[in-house]
Structure 1
Amino acid sequence: MKIRPLQDRVIVKRLEAKDVVKGGIIIPDTAKEKPQEGEVIAVGPGKMSKEGNLQPMNVKAGDRILFGKYAGTDVKIDDEDYIIMREDDILGILE
């Protein structure tokens, strides 16, 4: 990857939405919502506290996460779509 996030930012690749729901109904592309689940690709070093200490990040590259619907900024790097967001925008880590 040709980009490294700064401070408490992470780069996330959005996971693909499922085409079929549990009832067997196929959802067309125009009716799909953007998935709120992704995989962390890169992580910044962390945020500096007021005392000057580096606060480590709670997520690491490879984690599957949940994030808010309008979280982050969409970017395109090497013809791939990614989201750059702050660690605060992450709602949880999927295990």
Structure 2
Amino acid sequence: MKRLIPTFNRILVQKILQSAKTETGILLPETSTKLNSGKVIAVGPGSRDRDGKLLPVSVKEGDTVLLPEYGGTEVKLGEKEYHLFRDEDILGTLHE
């Protein structure tokens, strides 16, 4: 299996598909399951500022993040689909 390690301030994300049913079996409308989130699989080392100092990315592997509706680069590794985003494109992290 291939492993992708992002460069610069890029983040490899696997999108999370929300369930269309509740635990009791009630079907939910498509609009209520449309939270665009994903799990961070890998992160790049970061980018450099004008002085050459490393600016690390703001998320880490395993974080659940809120993604923009559009954007990112689709990447397929084996049978799985991933998306590459820049650190500044990530809208936030999700916590329970």
TM bucket normalised to smaller: 0.7 to 0.9
Distance 1:34 1:2 in 2: 29
Distance in 1 (alpha carbons) for counterparts of 2:87 and 2:28 = 34
Deviant stretches of 4+, over 2 Å: 24-28
Alignment-derived partner of residue 46 in structure 1: 46
**C-alpha displacement at 1:78, in angstroms?**
1.5
Q: Return the alpha-carbon distance in structure 2 between the equivalents of residues 75 and 34 of structure 1.
A: 21
Superposed counterparts of 1:57-72, under 5 Å: 57-72=57-72
Q: Alpha-carbon deviation of 1:35?
A: 4.8
After superposition, the CA RMSD in angstroms is 2.4
> Does 1:10 pair with 2:17?
no
Q: Which runs of 5+ in 2 are unaligned?
A: none
Deviation at 1:34?
6.4
1:11 aligned partner, one-letter code:
L
Secondary structure in structure 1 of the residue aligned to 2:91: strand
What is the one-letter code of the residue matched to 1:25? L
SS in 2 for 1:88: helix
Compute the displacement of 1:27 (Å).
Answer: 4.9
- Structure 2 match to 1:75: 75
Gaps of 5+ in 1: none
User: Taking structure 1 as the reference length, what is the TM-score of the superposition?
Assistant: 0.84
Task: State how many pairs are aligned.
Answer: 92
TM-aligned CA deviation for residue 87 of structure 1: 0.5
Shift of 1:25: 3.3
Letter in 1 for 2:83: I
Q: Which amino acid aligns with 2:21?
A: V
Q: 1:88 is matched with which residue? A: 88
TM-score (norm 2): 0.83
